[in-house]
């Protein structure tokens, strides 16, 4: 089982206060609802930014889907590589497009372990078992 | 999306990616650094905006 969704009301109040209603709506639509549907916890930012590393933050699901769709390619002929895969949100979305192979690369070990659990659970739940999804640690 | 690589590391990775020319390859970057836009081996084909985030699709020449 993946970990429980770590919904945090305060972070959404902060978004409303600092960035306005439109941003709040986008965050809910692209992050919160994605997590509720898939049983993931990708919405909360984690880690501290340093000189060489910036904290984990999820990409908007609609932005990922539209970007992949606009490629106009036969997905089965291509491999998908995600540099900085974090909790595996992009890899998870890419798995629905049936790429030949999917590879996620991340430097934080804990994020990779979390992503592995989540992706295994969701692929099994959705009956997607003939796709190769690998997550590795790059240090 | 939030790039964990320094400009130097990214340059090395780009060199490796742009070497292979078997067939058309693509690069999708969310909130990309300027170094990607300036790279001559990458051709920007589409930009998508969502709120404060942007997604750019590059074709590797």
- Which of B1, B5, B46 has its CB closest to that of A59? B1
Q: Is residue B39 part of a domain?
A: yes
The angle at the Cα of A9, spanning B55 to A126, to the nearest 5 degrees, equals 60
pLDDT-derived band at B1, boundaries 50, 70, 90: very low
A interface mutation test: which of B28, B44, B60 has the most A CBs within 10 A? Answer: B28
pTM greater than the 0.80 cutoff: no
Judge contact between A129 and A123, C-beta under 8 A.
yes
pLDDT at B47: 92
Judge contact between A88 and A135, C-beta under 8 A.
yes
pLDDT at A67: 92
| Range name among A1-15, A28-42, A50-64, B14-28 with the lowest pLDDT average | A1-15
Mean pLDDT of the A79-108 span: 87
Number of domains in chain B: 1
CA nearest to B9 within chain A: A52
Report domain extents, chain A. Answer: 9-137
Residue A105 has pLDDT above 50, yes or no: yes
Mean pLDDT of the A101-108 span: 86
ipTM above 0.90, yes or no: no
Q: Give the domain extent around B56.
A: 7-60
Q: Is residue B1 part of a domain?
A: no
Q: Do A84 and B26 touch (CB under 8 A)?
A: no
Q: Which residues in A have their CB inside 8 Å of a CB on B?
A: 19, 22-23, 26, 30, 51-60, 62-64, 66-68, 70-71, 73, 77, 83-84, 86, 107
Mean pLDDT of the A82-105 span: 87
CATH (one of 3.90.660, 3.40.50, 3.30.2320, 2.60.40) for A9-137: 3.40.50
Judge contact between B47 and B55, C-beta under 8 A.
yes
How distant is the Cα of A49 from the closest Cα of chain B, in angstroms? 9
pLDDT at B20: 63
Cα gap B18→B21, rounded to integer Å: 7
Which comes out higher in pLDDT, residue A8 or A65? A65
| Range name among A33-42, A65-74, A92-101 with the lowest pLDDT average | A33-42
Which comes out higher in pLDDT, residue A82 or A124? A82
pLDDT at A28: 85
């Amino acid at each position: 089982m993946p970990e429980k969704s770590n919904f945090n009301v305060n972070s959404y109040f902060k978004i409303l206060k600092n960035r306005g209603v439109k941003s709040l709506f986008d965050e809910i639509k692209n992050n919160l609802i994605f997590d509720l549907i898939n049983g993931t916890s990708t919405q909360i930012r984690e880690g501290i930014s340093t000189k060489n590393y910036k904290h984990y933050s999820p990409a908007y699901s609609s932005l990922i889907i539209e970007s992949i769709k606009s490629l106009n390619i036969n997905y089965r002929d291509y491999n998908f590589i995600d540099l900085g895969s974090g909790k595996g949100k992009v890899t998870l979305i890419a798995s629905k497009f049936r790429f030949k192979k999917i590879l996620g690369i991340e430097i934080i070990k804990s994020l990779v372990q979390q992503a592995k659990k989540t992706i295994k659970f969701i692929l099994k739940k959705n009956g997607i078992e003939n796709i190769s999804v690998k997550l590795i640690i790059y240090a | 999306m939030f790039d964990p690589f320094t400009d130097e590391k990214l340059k090395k990775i780009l060199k490796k990616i742009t070497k292979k020319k078997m067939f058309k390859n693509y690069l999708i970057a969310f909130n990309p650094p300027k170094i990607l836009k300036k790279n001559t081996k990458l051709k920007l084909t589409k930009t998508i905006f969502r709120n404060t985030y942007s997604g750019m699709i590059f074709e590797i020449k």
